[in-house]
Amino acid sequence: MHESQEETTMDARIPPTEITGLFGAVVKVASRKMLGQVPDSVGVMWHNPAVMKDLMTIGRKSEKWDALDPTLSTFARMATAAYVGCSFCLDLHYFLSHDQGLDEARAREVPRWRTSDVFSPLERRVMEYAEAMCQMPPAVSDELSAALLDELGAPALLELTAKVGLMDATARMNIALGIRSAEFSASCGLPPLAERSAADVGSPA
């Protein structure tokens, strides 16, 4: 589905370092299997393998949560990445939606979900919730939370909240480190992500 390619370059604020050792070999094999490449972001994180390993563990465990519909989960995380401004996270989840057989045409529209006509009312509420969580301070209203609790149930709403929180933290970390899109979706020939317009931008993060 996607071909291996040279490691991408980026203007990270911490230069990538060589990925070594047994764990490093496992990480490189897993990256090439999943993404078709070993992104420079892995080399950036490799300066502290313990941090990278623990963050990967949290990420893997969160992927096993199953109370929330996978499409809603993807849209929520992409909306979070778009709102915060993490091109790496946004492109990665667009790419993964393609690999996981989700609706990539609709995933491509997430950056402009407020003005796009391809989303259901529930999907819009989920993305609104994600954006409200990311505002400083968070701006989730009682009304929005109550509506999602009624539609999703408590287990799924808790999962949604946790996944948005994890994505918000990851996105802000990537931005602080200067980690940008590695063009995963382009390697699969996916159409570009939709551009946000002034009408799509909510309150600043």
Share of residues in the chain with pLDDT > 70 (%):
85
Same domain assignment for residues 27 and 117:
no
Same domain assignment for residues 43 and 133:
no
pLDDT at 88 over 80: yes
Same domain assignment for residues 176 and 82:
yes
Residue 134 lies in a domain: yes
pLDDT at 9 over 60: no
Using alpha carbons, list the distances in angstroms from residue 42 to 19, 112, 118, 136: 8, 29, 34, 29
Same domain assignment for residues 82 and 170:
yes
pLDDT digits (tens, 9 = 90+) for 108-132: 899 999 999 999 999 999 999 999 9
Residue 128 lies in a domain: yes
Same domain assignment for residues 137 and 109:
yes
Domain span holding position 123: 68-192
| Among the listed residues 156, 125, 122, the one whose alpha carbon sits nearest the alpha carbon of residue 140 | 125
Rounded-to-integer distance, Cα 134 and Cα 78, Å: 12
What pLDDT sits at residue 81? 94
Same domain assignment for residues 115 and 182:
yes
pLDDT at 3 over 80: no
Same domain assignment for residues 158 and 181:
yes
Same domain assignment for residues 21 and 110:
no
**Total number of domains constituting the chain:** 2
What pLDDT sits at residue 93? 85
What pLDDT sits at residue 45? 95
Q: Indicate which CATH number applies to the domain containing 176.
A: 1.20.1290.10
Residue 85 lies in a domain: yes
Same domain assignment for residues 187 and 140:
yes
Among candidate residues 9, 39, 64, the one where a domain is terminated: 64
146 against 7, higher pLDDT: 146
